Structure 1
């Protein structure tokens, strides 16, 4: 299941996001979207979690939680 994480602190790394979501299950892919010109985070990422129960747990527990002083939003990505 593909998840969209928005409103990330610009300094948050892909590794930090992967570790955060790994608490709820297996993360097969983590893609932090970067600005091509600056190389800095655009503040959102896509996470791939193959197990539906684990993905739902991650959404329920992490949506509107505070990570690095930012209240993140987590939802299922549109295909």
Structure 2
């Protein structure tokens, strides 16, 4: 499969509950992550993380699938059209 450039947007609505789990999942997929930006929003006890990735569609699906199973996590991704 071809690797493509893309991004993953992650919203953690309950940082206390799921931030550690998200970080663990991201560390398991570190080989596809080019850059990571994390912004905690302390007043609302949530956080937003944006990843830039270089991955196959299967690798992105595996990462987003694991993240999406966490109760307070919303995740969206997009990949470039160019292979």
**TM-score, scaled to structure 2:** 0.56
Runs of 4 or more, structure 1, over 6 Å off, are: none
Structure 1 vs Structure 2 CA RMSD: 3.2
Residue pair 1:3, 1:76 contacting (<8 A) in 2 also: yes
Residue pair 1:25, 1:49 contacting (<8 A) in 2 also: no
Structure 1, unpaired ranges of 5+: none
More strand by share: 2
Higher relative contact order (Cα pairs below 8 Å, separated by 6+ residues) = 2
Per-residue CA distance 1:34-69 (angstroms, 9 max, x = gap): 56xx8xx86111012211221221112211414xxx
How many aligned positions are there?
A: 70
Residue 54 of structure 2 aligns to a residue whose secondary structure is: coil
Structure 2, unpaired ranges of 5+: 1-5
**TM-score, scaled to structure 1:** 0.58
